[in-house]
Amino acid sequence: MKKILVTGGAGYIGSHTVVALHAEGFQPVIVDDFSNSSESVLGGLRAIVGTDVPVHRIDCNDKAAFRQVFEREGDIAGVIHFAAFKAVGESVQKPLAYFRNNVGSLLVLLELMQEFKVWNLVFSSSCTVYGVPDQLPVTEETPTKPASSPYGRTKQMGEDILRDVDQAPGNQFKTVLLRYFNPIGAHPSGLIGELPLGVPQNLVPYITQTAAGIREKLTINGDTYDTPDGTNVRDYLYVGDLAQAHVVAIKRLLTLTWPVVETYNVGTGRGNSVLEVVKAFEKATGQALNYSIGPPRSGDVPAIYADVTRSAEQLGFRTSTSLEDALASAWRWQQNLSNE
């Protein structure tokens, strides 16, 4: 079984990717400091995959501790690097923490991969690199824009670092940059899912918490954008599909024999407005949602969704889960949480 290190493997996207790797015959090994994830994820993972997933509880910035992971694990076929902070608003409050955690840990990881001659890397990037795009849908060739938050800058810097490493003489890294659009939903078992701390910033956890009665109502952040119904448009993809994209990316890296850095959008190729998501949630779950329209949220991009031609043609990857099914899975997960 090929061993894949999954940094941030106890997190939302990471845990679903651990499941997908295991299902395809890989041996995932989690590296996580649990600073923004819960130990309870490990029980959910065990129940889903039927065995304990190896875990190293370390901070990826702790080079000595991380080196021991490489030493102890031995033959590592590749790394999927999720470990990072991800809240746009928080990054404005704590820029140093974001640069240290997101950029610093990438440098530590790359140095260790070089030291141990592990050359296959999948990096978590984000559609945030496109800023407010001049054309829709965005292809991977759509020019990136200066990021509007420290969080966004850490993702752009991560991409820049990996492209510079690729250009260096004698480089041996093979890297796939995955630019995620908006992942939603949870594993069909309801055993793992998104665990927002405090008041959710993201749309779908806010919706499910409102339906569960934890929040009084959803406030839609503005309805006067230049979009069909005036609310923001995003490309919402099922987290299980996104997890599968990582497996496909690792498989591709294992077949490539030359150093390369490849960039792929991972989305559905469709845009949905906030109001459409609310309606789809109501239809999928039979829950009426209490919501009202509020002011626009500062920094929001009016509309963005992916052109997925490249990931379809080169990776053979397409999402397969509908928006309604993804929202139904998020609701099942919320109900499990609320019943605990």
In the chain, the amino acid numbered 138 is V
In the chain, the amino acid numbered 40 is S
Quick one: angle between helices 323-339 and 203-211, nearest 10? 50
Q: Does 165 help bind ligand UFG (rule: CB under 6 A)? A: no
| Selected range binding ligand UFG among 6-14, 52-60, 166-174, 200-208, rule: CB under 6 A | 200-208
Place of tokens 């509880």: 57
Q: In this structure, what token pair is assigned to residue 39?
A: 């130990």
Given 12, 98, 151, 264, which residue is catalytic? 151
Q: Does 156 help bind ligand UFG (rule: CB under 6 A)? A: no
Question: Binding residue for ligand UFG (CB under 6 A) from 212, 301, 312, 337?
Answer: 301
**Site map (CB under 6 A) of ligand UFG, residues 81-100, x = contact:** -----x-x------------
Closer residue to ligand UFG (CB): 168 or 199:
199
DSSP codes, 222-279: -S-SSSTTSS-EE-EEEHHHHHHHHHHHHHHHHH--S-EEEEEEES-S--EEHHHHHH
In the chain, the amino acid numbered 177 is L
How far is it, in rounded angstroms, from Cα 293 to Cα 295? 7
Chain residues 264-283 in contact with ligand UFG, contact rule CB under 6 A: 274
> Taking the complex as a whole, how short is the minimal distance between the CB of residue 278 and ligand UFG, in angstroms?
9
Q: Does 203 help bind ligand UFG (rule: CB under 6 A)? A: yes
| Selected range binding ligand UFG among 33-41, 54-62, 199-207, 327-335, rule: CB under 6 A | 199-207
How far is it, in rounded angstroms, from Cα 185 to Cα 193? 7
Question: Binding residue for ligand UFG (CB under 6 A) from 101, 124, 182, 265?
Answer: 182
Q: In this structure, what token pair is assigned to residue 25?
A: 């015959």
> Taking the complex as a whole, how short is the minimal distance between the CB of residue 206 and ligand UFG, in angstroms?
4
Q: Does 297 help bind ligand UFG (rule: CB under 6 A)? A: yes
Parallel/antiparallel/unpaired status of strands 233-234 and 272-273: antiparallel
The answer to whether 237 and 266 have CB atoms below 8 angstroms apart is yes
How big is the chain by its Cα radius of gyration, in Å? 19
Chain residues 204-233 in contact with ligand UFG, contact rule CB under 6 A: 206, 218-221, 232
> Taking the complex as a whole, how short is the minimal distance between the CB of residue 114 and ligand UFG, in angstroms?
29
3-state secondary structure of 19: helix
Closer residue to ligand UFG (CB): 215 or 310:
215
> Taking the complex as a whole, how short is the minimal distance between the CB of residue 316 and ligand UFG, in angstroms?
25
Closer residue to ligand UFG (CB): 66 or 180:
180
180 as an active site residue: the answer is no
Question: Binding residue for ligand UFG (CB under 6 A) from 300, 310, 324, 337?
Answer: 300
Q: Which of 199, 243, 208 is nearest to 12 (CA)?
A: 243
Q: In this structure, what token pair is assigned to residue 8?
A: 């941030």
3-state secondary structure of 45: helix
| Selected range binding ligand UFG among 18-26, 58-66, 195-203, 306-314, rule: CB under 6 A | 195-203
What sign has the CA pseudo-torsion 81, 24, 309, 204?
A: negative
Closer residue to ligand UFG (CB): 126 or 334:
126
How far is it, in rounded angstroms, from Cα 328 to Cα 186? 9
> Taking the complex as a whole, how short is the minimal distance between the CB of residue 273 and ligand UFG, in angstroms?
8
Give catalytic residues, as residue numbers. 151
Residues that bind ligand UFG (CB under 6 A): 86, 88, 126-128, 151-152, 182, 201-203, 206, 218-221, 232, 234, 274, 297, 300-301
